[in-house]
Chain A
Amino acid sequence: MTALPTRKLEAWRYADLKAVEALWPPPPARLISVPAGASDAQLLRVDAGGIHDVRVELAPGARLQLVVVITSASYARVQIEAHLRAGADLDLGGVLLGSGDTTIELVTDVRHLEPEATSRQRVRLVLDEQATGNYLGRIAVARDAQLTDAAQSARALVLKRTATANLKPELEIFADDVKCAHGCTVGELDKAALFYLQSRGVPPAEAESLLAQAFVADALDGIADMALREQLDAETRGWLERRT
């Protein structure tokens, strides 16, 4: 990937191309490779602008839990290409928090190359002001990757109507015995819940942040490391409380 991408490329449709140009060429992909039967957990924390390429290689029976948290105030993109061999398992949690007029995006390409691999993606976006948040999630199941189980759930919470969410799932399935569940929704804060909280004394900004926190919690639920979980909860809370 050396030529500057254009809008015509599906994976760059919603990117901030001006910002991309300034960041081009991106640094080489970071490789996360988990050997056969092994388990790993990785956190990718993006709080500054940049293009992050990640290549995931899961050998047979390998397991990876990957958490991506993007809170950058300028254009940030994480693109992940994952190759899953027989019986491998990928658990991906994504939290994207955008404010100002920034564009942040998570682009995933999960390739089930061999039978019986499983993948789950839970992505939550919270978008304020004029921010744009994108999730483009492609799942490809190869011809002999029977008994694949791939789940994908992406939900965006738009705090102001001036913010934008683009959620694009894409399934490419060549095997026939496959379970693929996906769901994408964009919504606003529940007015009735906000009023309930406020009527008990919670100020509006704090009420919004409580609800938004509950909203992103799903994406972090898979994290087994309690200290890390608490740290990420605190970071999201901090971000939500800093907004005005």
Chain B
Amino acid sequence: MLEIVNLHATVGDREILKGLTLSVKAGEVAAIMGPNGAGKSTLAHVLAGREGYTVTQGSVLFDGQDLLALEPHERAAAGLFLGFQYPVEIPGVSNLLFLRTAMNAQRKLRGEAEISGADFMKRVREEAAVLGLDLEMLKRGVNVGFSGGEKKRNEAFQLGMLMPKFALLDETDSGLDIDALRIVSEGINRFRGPTRAVLLITHYQRLLDHVRPDVVHVLRGGRIIETGGPELALRLEAEGYEGLAA
């Protein structure tokens, strides 16, 4: 589903991604681990198309399409979802207006009909209940006044509402309390399916205890330096990154 080959990317005039190659197949849950500053969030931003991140070499195919040729909103409509490490606060734009606008914009670009107000609210109630998000909270500005954990739950809520093909989750587990971690993990597990894929960026084995990955990649110095099964995460937890060749 996602094929990244020899990706080089710069932020400002600094090269952060230095020949990164990675593929994620449909149906797969993959995890990326790696030390602080390795380039994990940079990879996420490059894939989502953030301004200021320049690809200087390499290619990314998403479902056979050249992902890098698409605008950020077109990438979303094509089925890519980025869960932010630091979700943004937007005063004055309610969570629900934001989500409905996003949903309908995606549908429009895919040539689908808009969702009706009633269907939208029905979905909102279902998803919010599952994630323990208060409906009143969702009427407030996007992430405004949300605690760190609530922001992450809101990312999981949006994932559940939008049901993309590919979820790229940048530390969605950080800042969650034990119950919230379980709830969000259940959300990710429900999202799993043969036509979808998940790429989890995480520092913690505890997420991987709940969401068992098929593959674990280690990103360091702007490249994937090792790939293995779930046992690789356990080994990293025990030994750290120092033992791995950079």
A residues with CB within 8 A of B: 190-193, 195-204, 206-207, 210-211, 213-215, 217-218
Contact = CB atoms under 8 A, between A and B. Distances in A.
Given A196-B87, A214-B92, A214-B93, A202 B71 contact: no
10 contacts: A195-B50, A196-B84, A198-B71, A199-B73, A200-B162, A201-B102, A202-B98, A202-B105, A203-B73, A203-B105
Interface string B94-138: 000111011101100100000000000000000000000000000
A206 B93 contact: no
A202 to B, nearest CB: 5
A78 to B, nearest CB: 25
A206 B81 CA distance: 19
Point out which of A198, A199, A202, A211 has the most chain B C-beta atoms below 10 A from its C-beta.
A199
Interface in B60-104: 71-73, 75-77, 81-82, 84, 87-93, 97-99, 101-103
A211 B90 contact: yes
A200 B98 contact: yes
B158 interface: yes
A90 to B, nearest CB: 24
A198 B92 contact: no
A202 B106 CA distance: 7
B71 A192 contact: no
Given A193-B88, A196-B90, A201 B50 contact: no
B51 interface: yes
A129 B98 CA distance: 26
B158 A200 contact: yes
B93 A198 contact: no
Contacts of A199: 48-50, 72-73, 75-76, 82, 84
Contacts of A210: 93, 97-98, 101
Contacts of B71: 198, 203-204
Interface string B154-170: 00001000100000000
Contacts of B98: 197, 200, 202, 210
Contact of A206 (B82, B90, B105, B158): B105
A198 B90 contact: no
Nearest to B83: A199
A197 B84 CA distance: 12
Contacts of A201: 73, 76-77, 102-103, 105-106, 109, 162
Contacts of A217: 92
Contacts of A204: 71, 73
B163 to A, nearest CB: 12
B51 A191 contact: yes
Contacts of A211: 90, 92-93
A139 B73 CA distance: 46
Nearest to A212: B92
Contacts of B88: 190, 192-193, 195-196
Contacts of B92: 211, 213-215, 217-218
Contacts of A197: 90, 98, 101-102
A1 B75 CA distance: 59
A110 B97 CA distance: 37
A167 B223 CA distance: 50
A214 B142 CA distance: 11
Contacts of B109: 201, 203
